[in-house]
Amino acid sequence: MNKSHLAAIVLTILGLCPAGPAEAVGFQWGTASDPDGKPLQLAIWYPSDDEAGEQIFGPFRQTVTQNGTVHGDHLPLIVLSHGTGGSLFNSHDSAIAFAKAGFVAVAVTHTGDNYQDQANSFTSANLTNRVRHVRRVIDYMLTDWSRHVVIDPARIGIFGHSAGGTTALVAIGGRAELGRLVAYCQDNPDDWGCNKARQRNGEALNGTPLPSILAPDRRIGAAVLMAPAMAAAFTPDGLASVRVPVQLWIAERDEVAPDAEQVAHLLPGPVEVHRIEGAGHFAFLSPCSDILLARAPEICTDPPGFDRPAFLADLQRRAITFFKRTLKTQ
């Protein structure tokens, strides 16, 4: 066998091997249309081989390559949903970890329930709108995103924190009976969410019948729920239609969603549960810069002795393993 034949065989073998991990993370902005509301602002991360550098987005710093090329194809998609009053950058470090592991990650700023606009926060419309946002985001990523051909539409997961965790739960088939929150707030007058609702407009406290919500997106094949809020709105019957794998994260010192663990007992199938000692409700968010700490100390400050960066590294590793198994990535 001469050298040219050997080289041809080697190249053929290499061509059959799957691509190795990307060296960097690409980043793009996106805008998804929402005929029933304002356009949705998106942040998109994906594996890339282009050289990355530090980018500053307000109080957030990320090492990414803006508008870089995409590494790989048939990539699974993860949708990130933030909590009430948050933004698409709330879990940017987790999005970057997903991209480094071979996923496309897209985060949305929920209109009407973000740090600049709370028009729908703590109202019955909020959860309905949020679930619709998730659907619009997936539509955009599969059809309108400039690199949509790299996404495998059969492998989509969702990653949500607080109200974002509840959004994810409804998006995968849960039915939230919001009227149940009236009795819950009467029995728990000091509850964080009940107080916020009372300050907002009293809707969850005045006895007005509130609608049930059923709006599953069957394209979603797995969900990671972090400290999901409003667990009292769910019953076993309300979660009976959930058929996808769920990973549930519970914070031991959660004063915002203290009953989140109830979700594990209500779901019809096995749930992978992680209980985090010493963690508060906001431990799941990206570590804060000094600027963000000064602006929003509530979401940046952890209980004494809790190491948020170390915890997040473990969460990301376990979430990636979960999504790889449940979405059947290579």
Residue ranges of the chain whose pLDDT lies below 50:
1-19, 204, 207, 330
Q: Which two tokens stand for residue 196?
A: 């916020």
294 within 8 A of 59, measured Cβ to Cβ? no
Residue type, 109: T
Q: How high is the mean pLDDT of the chain?
A: 88
Per-residue pLDDT tens over the stretch 91-141: 999 999 999 999 999 999 999 999 999 999 988 889 999 999 999 999 999
Q: Is 102 helix (H, G, I), strand (E, B) or coil?
A: coil
Q: CA-to-CA distance for 79 and 171, rounded, in angstroms?
A: 11
Following DSSP, what letter does each residue of 191-247 receive, concatenated? -HHHHHHHHHT-TTTS-----EE----TT--EEEEES-S-GGG--TTTTTT--S-EE
Closest CA to 235 of 268, 257, 187: 268
Q: CA-to-CA distance for 251 and 276, rounded, in angstroms?
A: 5
pTM score, whole prediction: 0.89
Residue 160's φ and ψ, nearest 5 degrees, are -130, 145
Per-residue pLDDT tens over the stretch 282-324: 999 999 999 999 999 999 999 999 999 999 999 999 999 999 9
**From the CB of residue 35, how many other CB atoms can be counted at a distance below 10 Å?**
6
254 within 8 A of 260, measured Cβ to Cβ? yes
User: Would you give the DSSP letter of residue 4?
Assistant: H
249 within 8 A of 314, measured Cβ to Cβ? no
Following DSSP, what letter does each residue of 54-101 receive, concatenated? EEEETTEEEEEEETPPPP-SSEEEEEEE--TTB-TTTTHHHHHHHHHT
193 within 8 A of 258, measured Cβ to Cβ? no
Residue 31's φ and ψ, nearest 5 degrees, are -140, 120
What's the CATH number for 22-326? 3.40.50.1820
- pLDDT at position 188: 85
